Amino acid sequence: MSTTTAFQGAARASAYVEEATTGRPHRGIEPAPTVDEPVPVEEPTVETEPEAPEGEVTDITSLTATNAPAVARAGWRGLLGRAGIKLAPGAAEQAALERAERLRDSERVIRQATFSRAVGILVGNRKGGVGKTPTSLILGGVLASIRGGSVAVLEVSDDPGTLTYRAEGSPQRGVGELAVDHRAIASAGQLASYTAPQTSFASVIGTTGLRPRLDANDVLHASEVIDRYHQVRVMDSGNQPSSSAFDGALAVTDALVIPVLNSAEAVLEAIALLDHLRAGGDARRRLADTATVVRLTDGRVENPQVASRLGKLLDQHHVAQVFDVPFDPHIAERGPITLNQLAPATRDAFTHLAAGVVQTLQAQPITIRNQEKN
């Protein structure tokens, strides 16, 4: 099992209520070294703030990585560098450079991926309240923002869910209407009237009012129309893997993402879903064997020993990859989620998750589906 380690905390479902974490602890400041000659300074004043604890660098977007040896740009090392005394980055700045390079690598994977047909990603867990809807929205939003659109987020729960409420906008029509009108959709413009466009460039298709329960045919029909005009389809599922709608979603899924909290209940339900799929034939077994788990926390105090045991439990059940996402107050507000209002660390974590899912898709044999068109 491969595990990301750059972050450790939490996204959550619509039922979450958490408080924001506290600020950074105060740390000591390393004094600048003396030099034999005065350092020429062109500016009337010079910022003398050194690297916070050997350079706590938070603005990694301003740092660049090249093939040449890195030169310090932050803290007192950067100050001396501007005076002509070139020094290597401190430990914190070097770590920031590495984080920035890793983020660029993940974005490159997402942006440059191509597929022989539209692909489907299913976000599912038998347990409710573990972050399926926020994960679907943010995963789809990150993919759309980096790929320049062509990503739809579709509600596939048998009963109405909260996808529309957690998304931006107030659409007039949604998945219930699309399931009825699918035969009449003949252009991207027509399909757009059933969506809620997001600032991330994703298109969300959820529930806009009372609707009948979705069944497998409804999901298949909606997916077939969406796949004509979008490259990626992210599906926000319900809590019943035995339902007809869930069966329909599985039939058009190429990669499975399972959100969990660091609780025994959530992880055991995730494992039960994997066992259910592994007993369902080759295609479903492949989804289970290549599943991606995203570990979220809801802001409550966690026992590190419990979290460690749950990680070992996932490992024992052969989870292909696991990603951790930090707590984010914007998600915990339980309102509409806007991608650019997430904390940078949260967005970075979902970017790495999205890249991992894309790599799973690229490793699978993507064959042309022969969906029945009724």
Tokens 């994997």 map to which residue?
274
pLDDT of residue 141: 98
* Residue 243 clears pLDDT 50, i.e. is over it: yes
* Residue 11 clears pLDDT 70, i.e. is over it: no
Residue 337 lies in a domain: yes
pLDDT of residue 2: 47
User: Quick one: average pLDDT of 55-69?
Assistant: 49
Indicate the helix (H) or strand (E) that contains 273. helix 264-278
Q: Is 197 exposed, middle or buried (0-12, 13-18, 19+ CB in 10 A)?
A: middle
User: Quick one: average pLDDT of 230-243?
Assistant: 95
What residues contact 252, with CB distance under 8 A and at least 6 apart? Answer: 120, 219, 220, 223, 227, 233, 369, 371
What residues contact 175, with CB distance under 8 A and at least 6 apart? Answer: 154, 155, 156, 194, 205, 206, 207, 211, 214, 218, 222
228-266 b/e with 16+ CB inside 10 Å = b? ebbbbbbbbbbbebebbbbbbbbbbbbbbbbbbbbbeeb
Tokens standing for 281? Answer: 């034939």
Q: What is the pLDDT of residues 74-100, one digit of tens each?
A: 776 777 667 777 778 878 878 888 999
Provide the pLDDT confidence category of residue 166 given band limits of 50, 70 and 90: very high
Residue 374 lies in a domain: no
CATH, residue 150 = 3.40.50.300
Closest by Cα among 293, 247, 277 to 131 = 293
Residue 349 lies in a domain: yes
Range in 62-76, 231-245, 341-355 the model is least confident about: 62-76
Closest by Cα among 219, 190, 203 to 143 = 203
Domain tally, the chain:
1
* Residue 337 clears pLDDT 90, i.e. is over it: yes
Helices of type H across 162-237 = 163-166, 175-181, 188-192, 216-229
* Residue 322 clears pLDDT 60, i.e. is over it: yes
Closest by Cα among 242, 246, 166 to 206 = 166
Pairing of strands 232-236, 203-205: unpaired
Q: Is 220 exposed, middle or buried (0-12, 13-18, 19+ CB in 10 A)?
A: buried
Average pLDDT, rounded, for the chain: 83
CA 265 to chain centre: 22
Question: Using CA atoms, how far apart are residues 314 and 311, in angstroms rounded to an integer?
Answer: 5
Tokens standing for 249? Answer: 């979603």
Q: What is the pLDDT of residues 293-307, one digit of tens each?
A: 999 988 777 778 888
What residues contact 267, with CB distance under 8 A and at least 6 apart? Answer: 260, 310, 313, 314
Give, to the nearest 10 degrees, the angle between helix 282-289 and helix 244-251. Answer: 80
User: Quick one: average pLDDT of 270-286?
Assistant: 95
Tokens 């030099």 map to which residue?
35
Residue 1 lies in a domain: no
User: Quick one: average pLDDT of 310-328?
Assistant: 92
* Residue 175 clears pLDDT 70, i.e. is over it: yes
Residue 358 lies in a domain: yes
Q: Angle at the Cα of 227 (from 208 to 103), degrees rounded to 5?
A: 90
* Residue 60 clears pLDDT 60, i.e. is over it: no
Half-sphere exposure of 51 (CA within 13 A, CB side): 24
pLDDT of residue 80: 67
pLDDT of residue 369: 67
Q: Are 309 and 263 in contact (CB under 8 A)?
A: no
Q: What is the pLDDT of residues 191-223, one digit of tens each?
A: 999 999 999 999 999 999 999 999 999 999 999
Domain around 358: 116-363
Residue 234 lies in a domain: yes
Residues of the chain with pLDDT > 70: what percent? 79
Provide the pLDDT confidence category of residue 59 given band limits of 50, 70 and 90: very low
Amino acid at the residue 93: E
Pairing of strands 203-205, 196-197: antiparallel
pLDDT of residue 248: 97
User: Quick one: average pLDDT of 360-370?
Assistant: 80
User: Quick one: average pLDDT of 26-35?
Assistant: 40
Q: What is the pLDDT of residues 96-139, one digit of tens each?
A: 889 999 999 999 999 999 999 999 999 999 999 999 999 999 99
pLDDT of residue 81: 67
Residue 233 lies in a domain: yes
Provide the pLDDT confidence category of residue 273 given band limits of 50, 70 and 90: very high
Residues of the chain with pLDDT > 90: what percent? 64
Task: Indicate left, alpha or beta for 169 from its phi (over 0: left) and psi (-120 to 50: alpha).
Answer: left
pLDDT of residue 83: 74
Residue 88 lies in a domain: no
Provide the pLDDT confidence category of residue 37 given band limits of 50, 70 and 90: very low
